[in-house]
Amino acid sequence: MRYLDLTLPTPAENLALDEALLDEAEAAPQPIETLRFWEPARGIVVVGRSSTIASEVHLEACRHDGIPILRRASGGAAVVIGPGCLMYALVLSLRIRPALRVVNQAHQFVLGTLAGALKALAPEVRCRGMSDLVLGEKKFSGNSLRLKRENLVYHGTILYDFPLEWIDRYLAMPPREPDYRNGRPHREFVANLPVSSPAIREAIRAPWAPADPCTEWPRTRTEEIAAERYAM
């Protein structure tokens, strides 16, 4: 597995790189798996592939504050990200891991691995709902995936020092919620994981055992996707 700790200059490029890594893996004759981290330098709202922006996002607040709204290629509801939110992506080969073709098994496998790794830093970490990681009963990580023919990208957020008031300001209540939420508003449902970003990175790296950081990544495809899908 390759290791890529890379934050690109713009929100569009950062979202595009996750897609480009998946496309690269699809085109490769041999399996290529990648673990990537990045951290946004500014606030961004990222909606899911099928999200209805008008019902999931407080549009006036985003316009007033200059918060861009971008649509990712994977599913799930809208999220707001920014400084204090570590983003990760895993590109996994379905030739190596055929069981992950079943979406529920993909969620269980990746989130179970992440939760096991993070328990060493915060013992209360566990999986809840279909695709959440929680500390006690409060969510600190939301996740989604996109499947292609021979590979998937599984990516998500890990809040560790994030301004949680942004979630109320920029996001409406989601159209669907896990049972354990029990109707709680964002301010009562979401929390930061009280662990530093470097410590989270090291914990997550351990079970995947990636190689040393790589310097090669699909630059041209990233630029193409950013221009085609994310140009603002």
Name residues whose C-beta falls within 8 Å of residue 189's C-beta, 6 or more positions apart in sequence: 138, 139, 181
pLDDT tens for the chain, residues 1 to 232: 999 999 999 999 999 999 999 999 999 999 999 999 999 999 999 999 988 999 999 999 999 999 999 999 898 899 999 999 999 999 999 999 999 999 999 999 999 999 999 999 999 999 999 999 999 999 999 999 999 999 999 999 999 999 999 999 999 999 889 999 999 999 999 999 999 999 999 999 999 999 989 999 999 999 999 999 876 5
Residue 227 lies in a domain: no
Residue 71 lies in a domain: yes
Question: Do 158 and 84 meet the contact criterion of CB atoms below 8 Å apart?
Answer: no
Give me the domain span that covers residue 90: 2-208
| CA–CA distance, 220 with 226 (Å, rounded to integer) | 10
CATH of the domain at 193: 3.30.930.10
Q: What is the DSSP string of 154-196?
A: EEEEEESS--THHHHHHBPPPSS--GGGTT--HHHHB---SS-
Residue 37 amino acid letter: F
Residue 82 lies in a domain: yes
What does pTM read for this prediction?
0.95
| CA–CA distance, 3 with 17 (Å, rounded to integer) | 14
Supply φ then ψ for residue 160, to 5 degrees.
-130, -25
Name residues whose C-beta falls within 8 Å of residue 219's C-beta, 6 or more positions apart in sequence: none
| CA–CA distance, 20 with 152 (Å, rounded to integer) | 12
Supply φ then ψ for residue 84, to 5 degrees.
85, 10
Per-residue pLDDT at 109: 98
Residue 111 lies in a domain: yes
Residue 74 lies in a domain: yes
Supply φ then ψ for residue 139, to 5 degrees.
-75, 135
Residue 231 lies in a domain: no
Per-residue pLDDT at 229: 85
Question: Do 2 and 34 meet the contact criterion of CB atoms below 8 Å apart?
Answer: yes
160-to-50, 100, 201, 203 alpha-carbon distances in Å: 27, 28, 12, 14
Residue 129 lies in a domain: yes
Helix and strand element counts for the chain (H, E): 8, 10
Residue 162 lies in a domain: yes
Domain count, the chain: 1
| CA–CA distance, 220 with 138 (Å, rounded to integer) | 39
| CA–CA distance, 112 with 91 (Å, rounded to integer) | 16
Per-residue pLDDT at 188: 97
